[in-house]
A and B are shown apart, each in its own frame.
Chain A
Amino acid sequence: MKSTLPAAMAALLLCAGPAMAQVKATAQGVPDLDYRAVPGFFKPPPGDYPGETQGVATNSKGDVFVFFRAERSRLWEYDNTGKFVREIGKGFYNFLFAHSVRVDAHDNIWAVDEGSNTVTEFNPDGSKVLLVIGFRPPVTAGVVATPHGPNPPDQNYTLCRPTDVAWDQQGNIFVSDGYCNNRVVKYDRNGRFLAKVGGPASGKGVNQFNLPHGLQVDRAGNVYVADRGNARYVVLDNNLTWKTTYDNYGSAWSACISQGPHQYLFVSNSNPNGNPPGSWDNTGQVYKLELDGTPLGKFGHAGKLEPNWQVVHMMDCRNPNELIVGEIESWRAQKFVLQSK
């Protein structure tokens, strides 16, 4: 009996799954980076409130796009001083449950919505829809039960709770898909299917993912995937061939690759939802890495009050010395200035 108890407990812990996972980073001796918050940078419109802030992204002019969960998904644009500019896609059909926003090399704005199973490309001022990948389940299906069973087979053009989008220099589109399909899909610039890796079942081996939660592409076309359930970052080449993994930076919620001549990889060991005991001490830091996984430094702390953060969901690092961070549980975006080393 005695020996079965620990086993049962271990099984219970395993069942809790990625949502409750708390992973202490194994990377040792990583120096702390100097950083400071820019307090009150974002000025939302008076009387209106952001919700769970899943997505943050900047365009080439420094305008900031914040994608959050309110009554539905909402996408707000701020200028580079944090002044509110406008709302984009107000009432748009694909806006149901926000997950990610990214801005491509042409300043087009891409929103990933895991409630409607869609990736939407807007033109740079957000006034027109240019491309939709995936499709919202038909309303004619009526009220559907939230699926908890085994995954259906993954299909080329059917996304299932997708999480993120990125592009290579040729404009090919990469989608992490996501909470049920456990795969990464590559489409051409017109949204035509090219390749995929992983899925539909989750796994922890090579060519497998357990909740690919975010992704980025470097200038050479390599794809970096935040494999959240497996607490590792996976590097794929441009054809989605498995190259390597980085597994010593704790849980793997989100990845950001900076622009400029020398690209850096930022990864977040976000504190888990629900703040289990000890999580503020063990998790919450963001790491700055070379693209090959070599650590350069870490910064940031879990906490409720600014400038700490509550479950970092996404980072913008276009400028590697200025980070914008979106938080799930404190319903805000914050801006930080990092001292370069």
Chain B
Amino acid sequence: MKRILQVLLAATILTAIPAIAQTEISFTAADILKTPRDQLLGEVAGVATNSKGDIFVFTRTGDPSVSLGGSRTFQRGGTRLYQYDATGKYVREIGKGLYGFLVAQQVRIDKDDNIWAVDASSGMVMKFDPTGSRIVMLMGRKPESIDVPQPARTSRNGGAGASQDLFDWPTDVAWDAAGNIFVADGLGANARVAKFSSVGKFIKSFGAKGAGDGQFVDTHSLAVDAAGNVYVADQGNKRISVFDNDGNFKSQITGVGGPAALCLSGGAHPYLYSSNSNPQDDIDSGGEIYRLELNGSVTGKFGHAGKAAKEFGTVNEIDCRGNALFVAEVGNYRVQKITLK
């Protein structure tokens, strides 16, 4: 009996260890963006910085609406893209009134400072030049009209991989060193990652709906490391799935909650950041952001769900290009600049 007790005790201690090992990283947070009063931020879906430190914010605001009258019902508006300088001073709006801006999902900046915007509802990935004044390339096509009443959310595009660059609620975009483009597609029925050449030519899709290795409930975010490996945040399966550059499943990372936003830092020692974002209807659990080695081991975590400063409200994107992190919060209509200590 005594022995059994000891074994039980040891087992308890062992299972407790991973939680203890996740050290809290102390940090400071600042809300530095100075947004013009007539264009206040709504839900902030995306934040990204370029090589100069300019900050790009993709927000669901304005007036998302559908038309009355006409041959069909048309969806329009509701999303805007703002640029700030590194101090948070507002610089300009990009793509005002753009046809593909309906539901902001993510903004990312590539190594050449081109600006990429991903819109979940228009199903489009839009590449702007570094000034934001010109569209360089478009992927996906906005549905011409919407059905009323709205049918249940189903694939508009025939399932995983069938449709090259027609996306179903796409969520994110990333690039490998060769410039190949990876799109997370997405929150709809597709449950895949699509790979394209740097000029947008379809190469392949990988992943499928499900819980098996290399399958997804949803693909909420993705990141590509210097070696070309692809990390996919699958919030529904509560794991990050890792693939090689050709989409072959390699491994999965668990123990980080339901990953909804990923960021891979640069530098000599890159880290992977992953947010266990809380749903908008619950701020009493989750919300923490993990810092991981690329092999999946957690080196620490910070923050929790809430509405106060230093708390996080449904984080949808993390930028980790520089020394500071920028965190986009859907629930709190803000971006926080995070400095880890």
| A residues lining the B interface (CB < 8 Å) | 72, 87-94, 125-129, 131-133, 135-136, 138-145, 155-158, 190-193
Q: How far is the CA of A94 from the CA of B61 in the complex (A)?
A: 8
> Contacting chain A: which of B9-17, B143-151, B251-259?
B143-151
Which residue from A127, A131, A139, A158 sits with its C-beta under 8 Å from B281? A158
Contact yes or no, A157 B281, CB < 8 A? yes
- A143 in complex: contacting residue of B41, B121, B150, CB < 8 Å: B150
Min C-beta distance of B100 to chain A, whole Å: 14
Interfacial chain A residues near B120, Cβ < 8 Å: 140
CB <8 Å contact, B61 and A91: yes
Determine if B333 is an interface residue (Cβ-Cβ < 8 Å).
yes
| A132 CB contacts on chain B under 8 angstroms | 307, 331-333
Q: Report if B139 contacts A (CB, 8 A).
A: no
Report whether A92 and B42 are in contact in the complex, using a CB–CB cutoff of 8 Å.
yes
> Whose C-beta in chain A lies nearest to the C-beta of B329?
A132
A residues in contact with B35, CB < 8 Å: 128
| B331, A135: Cβ atoms closer than 8 Å | yes
Q: Find chain B residues with CB under 8 A from A191 CB.
A: 283, 306-308
Residues of chain B with a CB closer than 8 A to A158's CB: 281
Q: Is the CB of B37 within 8 A of A157?
A: no
How many residues from B make CB contacts under 8 Å with A?
41
Inter-subunit contact A136/B43 (CB<8 Å): yes
* Contact between chains at B284 and A156 (CB < 8 Å): yes
The closest CB in chain B to the CB of A190 belongs to B308
* Most B Cβ at <10 Å: residue of A72, A92, A155: A92
- Interface status of B213 (Cβ within 8 A of chain A): no
Which residues of B lie under 8 Å from residue A135 when comparing CB positions? 43, 280-281, 331
- CB pair A157–B283 under 8 Å, yes or no, is yes
B148: chain A residues at CB < 8 Å are 143
From B62-70, B127-135, B189-197, the one touching the partner chain is: B62-70
Complex CA gap A136/B64 in Å reads 11
CB distance from A108 to the nearest CB of B (A): 14
Chain B residue at smallest Cβ distance from A122: B40
- How many angstroms between the C-alpha atoms of A127 and B120 in the bound complex? 29
Pick from B39, B62, B63, B146 the residue with the most CB of A within 10 Å: B63
A104 CB to nearest B CB, Å: 16
Per-residue interface assignment for chain B, residues 276 to 307, with 1 indicating a CB less than 8 Å from any chain A CB and 0 otherwise = 00001111100000000000000000000011
Contact B334 A129 (CB under 8 A): yes
Q: Are A192 and B169 in contact (CB under 8 A)?
A: no
Please, how many angstroms separate the alpha-carbon atoms of A88 and B60 in the complex?
18
State in angstroms the CA–CA spacing of A126 and B39 once bound together.
Answer: 12
Judge whether B181 is part of the interface by a CB distance below 8 angstroms: no
Task: Using A91-B61, A139-B103 as known contacts, say yes or no to A192 and B283 having CB atoms under 8 A apart.
Answer: yes
Collect the chain B residues with CB atoms within 8 Å of residue A90's CB.
37-39
B29-64 contact mask (Cβ, 8 Å, vs A): 1 or 0? 000000101111111000000000000000111111
Say yes or no: B64 contacts A139, CB within 8 Å: yes
Q: What's the minimum C-beta distance from A137 to chain B, rounded to whole angstroms?
A: 10
Measured CB to CB, the nearest residue on chain A to B105 is A140
Q: Is the CB of A94 within 8 A of B42?
A: yes
- A142-B146 contact in complex given A92-B42, A94-B42, C-beta closer than 8 Å: yes
Q: How far is the CA of A289 from the CA of B285 in the complex (A)?
A: 44
B146: chain A residues at CB < 8 Å are: 142-143
- A129 near B283 (CB under 8 angstroms)? no
Give A158 to B37 CA distance when docked, in angstroms: 27
B28: Cβ under 8 A from any A Cβ: no
Distance to closest chain A CB from B166 (angstroms): 17
Contact call B41/A129, Cβ cutoff below 8 A? yes
> Among the interface residues A72, A88, A89, A132, which one has the most CB atoms of the partner chain B within 10 A?
A132
CB of B60 within 8 A of CB of A139, answer yes
Check if A91 sits within 8 Å of B39, measured CB to CB: yes
Known A-B contacts A190-B308, A192-B306; A141 and B283 likewise in contact (beta carbons under 8 Å): no
